């Protein structure tokens, strides 16, 4: 690894997790001649950050561990629990990106002397010098593209971020690259769990944190009692398995927090919607999207279908009209807007509705 041929003078902070992706990002930047240091978030008490520190030591770079436990509890954990108790299906990893990684951590990296923060996400940032504008575009590696989780980035953040892994076509290439320097990471697997729930199901974690009996009633579309549920945070819109004991007939149609009830339907067609009301909407460039209506491709989950849609601004609210109904868009999840291969923004689904025929909003 060449740390002496410094063709660039910029100092880059790498958000080091202890996994192969962030380690590979650090290795590549060092070899490209940058001054590199590692920065890791300490976000909950029993978090093991030893591997991140070990990787930094192996690469002979400075290591900073940033205590964000209080901020993480307030912005992520408490919001996660409260959202489920309100009947939503939140995405805590995306919220962590918004508030923690590209909020607090980016700010800290800059204060420590970095010109940029590098992460292991798969995405492209393109700078248009003619318009002095940064564009967030899909990864060329479609199987690894993570732009869905980055729709909230603004122009300042995009100007300060680097995604070094974009050139890799397969995870095996990343592992091979890292194994040349840190063989201990050869068997590391990607984590798909919510980091702070300590390998529990989210429902078990939430039940530990509340101090009341959460059970309520299942009712059908006509309001008839069908049975007892364990707590609204166990369920999400569209769910079928493990909903009502001794039957495989019903789907979760709606979660009513006010009555602590879950409305079930035996008709899957009831789950298809073509109008979404969004909240907490972000745009990568606010100046470019001030029109009342524009066409996009929408995604309502990381690995979901791409859906032709229109974004409409009505009386200060943002609606997304899907040109074909989609199944079970869950309040609390994000709807992300694309034009061609570029992310232009997105927001949190607050409510899903049905339009009748060619009805306009």
- Which residues are catalytically annotated? 96, 195
Element (H, E) at 280: strand 272-283
CA 163 – CA 156 distance, rounded (Å) = 15
Rounding to the nearest 10 degrees, give the CA dihedral for residues 189, 192, 196, 199. -80
Q: 302-332 b/e with 16+ CB inside 10 Å = b? A: bebeebebebbeeeeebbbbbeebbebbbbb
Q: CB of 24 within 8 A of CB of 36?
A: no
Q: What share of the chain is helix, strand, coil (3-state, %, to 5)?
A: 30, 30, 40
Among 195, 159, 171, 179, residue whose Cα is nearest residue 284: 159
Across 196-260, the runs of DSSP E, i.e. the strands, are 216-219, 225-229, 251-256
């Amino acid at each position: 690894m060449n740390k002496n041929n410094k063709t660039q003078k910029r100092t880059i902070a790498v958000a080091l997790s202890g996994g192969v992706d962030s380690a590979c990002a650090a290795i590549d930047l060092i070899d490209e001649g940058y001054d590199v240091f590692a920065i890791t978030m300490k976000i909950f008490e029993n978090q093991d950050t030893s591997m991140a520190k070990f990787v930094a030591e192996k690469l002979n770079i400075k290591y900073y561990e940033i205590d964000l436990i209080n901020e993480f509890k307030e912005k992520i954990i408490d919001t996660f629990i409260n959202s489920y108790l309100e009947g939503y299906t939140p995405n805590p990893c995306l919220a962590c990106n918004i508030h923690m990684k590209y909020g607090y951590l980016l700010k800290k990296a800059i204060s420590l002397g970095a010109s940029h923060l590098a992460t292991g996400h798969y995405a492209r940032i393109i700078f248009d010098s003619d318009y002095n504008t940064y564009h967030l575009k899909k990864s060329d590696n479609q199987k690894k593209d993570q732009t869905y989780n980055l729709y909230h980035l603004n122009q300042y953040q995009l100007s300060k971020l680097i995604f070094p892994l974009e050139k890799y076509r397969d995870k095996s290439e990343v592992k091979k690259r890292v194994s040349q320097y840190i063989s201990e990471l050869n068997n590391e697997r990607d984590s798909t769990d919510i980091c702070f729930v300590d390998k529990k199901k989210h429902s078990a974690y939430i039940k530990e944190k509340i101090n009341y009996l959460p059970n309520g009633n299942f009712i059908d579309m006509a309001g008839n009692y069908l049975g007892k549920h364990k707590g609204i945070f166990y369920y999400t819109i569209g769910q079928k398995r493990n909903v009502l004991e001794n039957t495989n007939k019903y789907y979760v149609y709606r979660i009513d927090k006010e009555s602590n009830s879950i409305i079930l339907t035996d008709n899957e067609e009831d789950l298809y919607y073509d109008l979404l009301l969004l909240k907490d909407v972000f745009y990568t460039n606010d100046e470019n999207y001030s029109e009342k209506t524009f066409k996009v491709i929408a995604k309502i989950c990381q690995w979901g279908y791409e859906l032709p849609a229109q974004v409409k601004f009505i009386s200060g609210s943002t609606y997304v009209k899907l040109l074909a109904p989609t199944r079970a868009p869950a309040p609390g999840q994000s709807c992300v807007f694309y034009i061609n291969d570029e992310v232009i923004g997105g927001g949190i689904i607050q409510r899903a509705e049905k339009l009748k025929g060619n009805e306009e909003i």
